[in-house]
Amino acid sequence: DTAVSQTPKYLVTQMGNDKSIKCEQNLGHDTMYWYKQDSKKFLKIMFSYNNKELIINETVPNRFSPKSPDKAHLNLHINSLELGDSAVYFCASSQDAKVGNSPLHFGNGTRLTVT
Amino acid sequence: AQSVTQPDIHITVSEGASLELRCNYSYGATPYLFWYVQSPGQGLQLLLKYFSGDTLVQGIKGFEAEFKRSQSSFNLRKPSVHWSDAAEYFCAVLAPPGGATNKLIFGTGTLLAVQP
């Protein structure tokens, strides 16, 4: 009954490959997010979707493409992986886009290692 | 631009001792402030938040935090630390507060180790 679940938990791949990370939430939330945590534990938002609509798109290389087939799912596809993409990627959700109203619920993260 | 600074990268305390984790923010107006905890291999969990009103806020797991506008600080405290509190703690500010869409700006975290 995990609230926000991400797969896979670990992902090791070579430079130049394309990979996807999947995220699903069973909380009935309208808004989902992708955050990137680098090797120094710095967390930065990448994208946010509200009811399948992209509402936050930070300065992220266009090799990263989020896709939200429905409001319970937000997947992250990464093309042409680079060494610098190695990080832990966290999916999160909130009741709505006003984070002040409802807290973020985080998944357990996907550790991506690019060799 | 909004920012959050956590001056202490790593803190070690003895079990049963008191704890204070520092957080300073940079924001022109009254901020919305949060503390999150990340246990190893886990996602982040909200400990407490401050929007307005009483400057001392209570959270889960016996944590509290005090908002001090004059010092631009939102320090996290716990009177008696338990071994299970060992984790990474993140302070965050909401930018912009109360907006239709907004995002959390996180600090770089403080890693707490608890000695027996």
Which residue among A97, A105, A108 sits closest to B101, beta carbon to beta carbon? A97
Q: Taking Cα atoms as reference points, which of A18, A27, A40, A15 lies closest to residue A74?
A: A27
* In chain A, % of residues over pLDDT 90: 73
Lowest mean pLDDT among A10-19, A49-58, A95-104, B80-89: A95-104
Angle at B46 between CA B41 and CA B51, to 5 degrees: 155
Determine whether the interchain pair A97/B43 forms a contact, defined as Cβ–Cβ distance below 8 Å: no
Determine whether the interchain pair A41/B100 forms a contact, defined as Cβ–Cβ distance below 8 Å: no
pLDDT at residue A92, rounded to an integer = 94
Q: Rounded to whole angstroms, how far apart are CA atoms B70 and B45?
A: 28
DSSP secondary structure code for residue B7 in this structure:
-
Cβ count near B78 (within 10 Å): 21
Give me chain B's average pLDDT, please.
Answer: 91
pLDDT at residue A98, rounded to an integer = 76
pLDDT at residue A58, rounded to an integer = 86
pLDDT at residue B45, rounded to an integer = 92
What is the three-class DSSP state of B25? strand
Q: How far is CA A18 from CA A64, A106, B24, in A?
A: 10, 24, 39
Structure-token pair, residue B30: 């009254």
pLDDT at residue B96, rounded to an integer = 67
pLDDT at residue B100, rounded to an integer = 57
Determine whether the interchain pair A100/B51 forms a contact, defined as Cβ–Cβ distance below 8 Å: yes
Determine whether the interchain pair A100/B46 forms a contact, defined as Cβ–Cβ distance below 8 Å: no
Reply yes or no on whether the pLDDT at A2 is more than 70: no
Q: Rounded to whole angstroms, how far apart are CA atoms B89 and A4?
A: 20
Q: Are B34 and B25 in contact (CB under 8 A)?
A: no
Cβ count near A52 (within 10 Å): 15
Residue A95: list chain B partners with CB under 8 A: none
Lowest mean pLDDT among A41-45, A46-50, A96-100, B10-14: A96-100
Nearby residues of B37 by Cβ (< 8 Å), 6 or more positions away? B44, B45, B47, B61, B87, B88, B89, B90
The per-residue pLDDT for range B36-88, each reduced to its tens digit, is 999 988 889 999 999 888 999 999 999 999 999 999 999 999 999 999 999 99
Burial profile A28-51: b = 16 or more Cβ within 10 angstroms, e = fewer? ebbbbbbbbbeeebebbbbbbbbe
The per-residue pLDDT for range A73-83, each reduced to its tens digit, is 999 999 999 99
Rounded to the nearest 10°, the torsion over CA A34, A32, A100, B19 is: -50
Which residue among A40, A103, A108 sits closest to B46, beta carbon to beta carbon? A103
Q: How far is CA B20 from CA A37, A41, B12, B57, B86, in A?
A: 24, 20, 11, 14, 13
